[in-house]
Amino acid sequence: MQIKEWIVVEGKCDTAAIKRAIGAKTIETNGSALDEATLRLIEKAHAQDGVIVFTDPDYPGRRIRALIEERIPTVKHAFLKKRDATPERKGSVGIEHASNEAIQEALSAVYSLQERGAAETVSREYLVRRGFIGASQSKQLRHRLGEALQIGETNGKTLLKRLNLFQITEEEIEEWFKTIEEK
């Protein structure tokens, strides 16, 4: 697997995991202490080769992702499944705990955000009707869809935003429903 973009990770252990899995170049945010100098470095890397944001599947990782996306809306995103980022001994969650295969899988399913104002591909009403919002099993359903589409764990509002920004359609979600109904 060859990746030309810079991969933004949270720390040195994440860099070691990326190097072990695919040998790509990284930029470290030093955890949630994302400062102006690091943001400028990410902007420069994005202009030069492109950037993939690949942060831990936890609150600090989502916060870092949002800060970078706010500054550079056209960055790409890769999401690691939470179960792949959790070590045998529970405690911390992070890319550094993931296997080479899990990292490679996440980085092979990179998403690019579409232009803001692009056509809406999924409506809130659809998500309510299909049980992703407002139902007793909504959280579990969102979790399963997020894993299948590799878009990360979300609440209802964030799911709607990601589906539309990544231009995932209601038809694609219906295809996913067919695969789970067959099981």
Query: How far is the C-alpha of 1 from the C-alpha of 14, rounded, in Å?
Result: 18
Q: Provide φ and ψ at 116, rounded to 5°.
A: -65, 140
CB 80 within 8 A of CB 53: no
CATH topology of domain 1-113: Dna Topoisomerase Vi A Subunit; Chain: A, domain 2 (3.40.1360)
Output the pLDDT for position 58. Answer: 87
Q: Is residue 99 predicted with pLDDT exceeding 70?
A: yes
Output the pLDDT for position 111. Answer: 84
Domain ranges of the chain: 1-113, 117-183
> What are the distances in angstroms from CA 149 to CA 6, 61, 72?
23, 19, 23
Q: Is residue 116 predicted with pLDDT exceeding 70?
A: no
Q: For the segment 129-143, what is each residue's pLDDT rounded down to a tens digit?
A: 999 999 999 999 999
Q: For the segment 144-163, what is each residue's pLDDT rounded down to a tens digit?
A: 998 888 888 889 998 998 89
Distance of alpha carbon 30 from the chain centroid: 18
Residue whose structure tokens are 């045998």? 88
